[in-house]
Structure 1
Amino acid sequence: MNSKNTSTSSKNTAGKRVGGTIYLHASALQELEPKLLLVFEKAKAAVPEGFAWSVVKMDLRSPNRVSFLNYEDFDKAVFPALRSSCTIDANTGLSSVRKYSTENPPILHRKELLLASDDPKRIAFSVVTKRLEELGLFKNMHKMGHRRAWEEALKLSGEDLKFIKATNNLA
């Protein structure tokens, strides 16, 4: 695993770090350090009514910027596609909503890292990640962030997608 991009801090036992951001599933928010949890709560109050989200993205370089991400079914989709996002400035309450293409949306990898440290689904999701790491599919992730490129890489790897889906469904 590339610790630069996906490590968790000693203060947070859950969370996928990418650059200066941390991503957490809604079920793991209790693992945020108190300072970040306060910012999250403040931003959450400004999310437009009816906006559904499953993942929160916190920008650690701009701590008052919080994005609420609406991914397709986190448990069922092996690599959930991003449907929409709502970014909030926790200081002002200003929000910005963005919808993503259904044709080639951003997709989520290593989803086990977004879960709480004791979430039993982490094990099954980790098996998928480990297998794909063994195949070298996470080496050029800057090129694999959208559905088309990722599906092409999976196809070229020769990996049996039935294995991946079956393992994901064990969660």
Structure 2
Amino acid sequence: MDMKEMATLETLDETIHPALNLGKRVGGYLYVHRSACDALDETAKAALSLAEQLAGKVDWNVAKLSLEGGSISLLDYALFFDSAFPELTRSYRIDLTDETVRVLDYSEGSNRPVLHRKELLLSPEHPRYAEYAQLTAALERAGLLQNSHAVGYHRQWQERLSTGGYCVIGHTLEVVDPDAVREQAEVQRHRTALRRYSFSRPMQALARHGYLDGRRVVFDYGCGRGDDLRLLELNGVPSSGWDPHFRPGAEKVMAPIVNLGFVINVIEQPEERVRVLADAFAHAQELLVVAVMLQGTSAAEHAAFGDGVLTSRGTFQKYL
């Protein structure tokens, strides 16, 4: 059996070992970077070798294998490793049955096809796999890869980045227009308000130090869903609260103790953070309790936004 018979006897989808989880599948095609092609099974590698013979000496770095068998395209993406979104310069489509080669030249075009999620074309062991995957994750959290079929070309992709208020520097997603990002992402501060069945950490700290003995009124500035207020009432502690989303009509009152728990870290405007902190302080007669989020291991995985990050839930966090 020669190579041609071997390559066309079965579909490529059946010959690629599923445990490899190799390549990026789009429609009926599998895209694999040249550096990862050695991981294909022997039949697929034989088909690729035949395609190379038929195409002659051409430059390519990505193989596009038809999962229905019979054809392979050898693609040449400019600056595959250095460009965050490599652009296609040439495509060589090889029909393995009739041994024809069709060449498409995009090199002179001003709006060339672009490649997203390029880490999927590489082996997970590739030294730059994690770098590329981190960019993809940031793009997904920002909602930039939704309806990706509509941004398969350079101009449309750049328009989406620009309209969204983003740019990509190297392989890092950066915010260049916070107002545009806020409009597109619809930052929802209230989503940070968790449902609680026990006291929040600042309330626990007050309890440990003897401040929740019922002799002082507590005002919860930015009380969220009001779970701390409910628990304070159950424990006989006089309290009230205000929240811009859940209790906008409540009154901000003076109180011996004011709690500003996990509030200023979800405000994306630095000037507003200062105003809120000053306002909470002005309502505290004896003690102001301020709690913020410390930077965790997941902070680096979020998209940069102003002086903080935009989370996958569309909320802002300013980690300290």
**Normalised-by-shorter TM-score class:** 0.7 to 0.9
Counterpart among 23, 40, 50 of residue 15 in structure 1: 23
- Equivalent residue number for residue 44 of structure 1: 52
1: distance between equivalents of 2:49 and 2:171? Answer: 36
The TM-score, its normalising length taken from structure 1, stands at 0.85
Q: Secondary structure at the match of 2:129?
A: helix
Q: Deviation at 1:32? A: 1.3
Q: Deviation at 1:46? A: 0.8
The TM-score, its normalising length taken from structure 2, stands at 0.47
Identity over aligned residues, as a percent?
34
Structure with the greater alpha carbon radius of gyration: 2
Structure 1 or 2: larger strand share? 2
- Equivalent residue number for residue 161 of structure 1: 168
Q: Deviation at 1:37? A: 1.5
Amino acid at match of 1:80: P
Given the alignment of the two structures, is residue 59 of structure 1 paired with residue 87 of structure 2, yes or no?
no
Bigger RCO (CA 8 Å, 6+ sep): 1
Q: Deviation at 1:55? A: 0.4
Q: Deviation at 1:138? A: 1.1
Aligned length: 157
Amino acid at match of 1:131: A
How far does the alpha carbon of each residue in 1:98-144 deviate from its partner, in whole angstroms, 9 at most, with x for none?
A: 11253001000000000013112110000110000001111111101
Q: 2:78, 2:87 within 8 Å by CA — same for their partners in 1? A: yes
Structure 1 segments of 4 or more deviating over 4 A? Answer: none
Greater mean deviation of Cα atoms: 85-94 or 127-136: 85-94
Amino acid at match of 2:59: A
| Structure 1 gap segments, 5+ residues each | 1-7
Q: 2:132, 2:171 within 8 Å by CA — same for their partners in 1? A: no
Amino acid at match of 2:149: H
Given the alignment of the two structures, is residue 129 of structure 1 paired with residue 136 of structure 2, yes or no?
yes
Q: Deviation at 1:95? A: 0.5
Q: Secondary structure at the match of 1:46?
A: helix
2: distance between equivalents of 1:133 and 1:67? Answer: 28
Distance 1:64 1:166, change over 3 A: closer
Q: 1:13, 1:117 within 8 Å by CA — same for their partners in 2? A: no
Q: Deviation at 1:93? A: 2.2
Q: 2:87, 2:114 within 8 Å by CA — same for their partners in 1? A: yes
2: distance between equivalents of 1:32 and 1:24? Answer: 9
Q: 1:13, 1:31 within 8 Å by CA — same for their partners in 2? A: no
Amino acid at match of 1:148: R
Amino acid at match of 1:99: D
Matches within 5 A, 1:1-171: 10-49=18-57, 51-61=58-68, 63-100=69-106, 101-162=108-169, 165-167=170-172
Amino acid at match of 2:56: P
